[in-house]
Amino acid sequence: MKKQISSISNEQIQHSLENNLRQYLVGNLSLPQVLNHIEDDKLEIGITSYTDFQSESPHYHTQAYEYQYIVKGTTEYMDVETGQEYTFHQGDFYVTPPGIKYAQRSQPGTEILFIKTPPGNDKQIIETTDKVKKWLEGK
């Protein structure tokens, strides 16, 4: 099989994000999605786009490191075990290592490019406190 350069156009990516919060660009994906992605079993790469204020259920990953770059906007994290808060803005790059239990909330218009390795769904949802619930609501 001849090797070739694979690509996904900006138009395809933007179209897929019109009705979807998250789209994977690269990976060996088990769930169907709107966007045709590039197959790879070493990592996953995708884009999360928050049109409105959005919070993610508190969770942690058992194996995956998630490397993230803020394309635009602002996102905030709370380490739910220590209460420490982190704020990331456009242009910031950060990593969430496996085992760290966190909550995340993002401001409207935030877009994040993420790289996850190793690939696979290792997300573990965790119970949350009233304090974290209020924080997730932006209070």
CATH number at residue 18: 2.60.120.10
Q: Please give the average per-residue pLDDT across 18-43, as a whole number.
A: 91
**Distance, CA of 100 to CA of 26 (rounded, Å):** 24
Is the predicted pLDDT of residue 1 greater than 90, yes or no? no
Q: What is the DSSP string of 56-86?
A: EEEEEESS-EEEEEEEESEEEEEETTT--EE
pLDDT higher than 80, residue 139: no
Which tokens hold the place of 45?
A: 């790469």
Q: What is the pLDDT of residues 87-116, one digit of tens each?
A: 999 999 999 999 999 999 999 999 999 999
Q: Which domain holds residue 40?
A: 10-136
Provide mean pLDDT across the span 57-77: 97
Q: Look at residue 4 and tell me if it is in a domain.
A: no
> Per-residue pLDDT averaged across 67-81, rounded?
97
pTM: 0.92
Query: What is the overall mean pLDDT for the chain?
Result: 94
The tokens for 68 are 């993230």
Tokens of 19: 């009705």
Total structural domains within the chain? 1
Beta bridge partners of 61: 123
Q: Is residue 1 assigned to a domain?
A: no
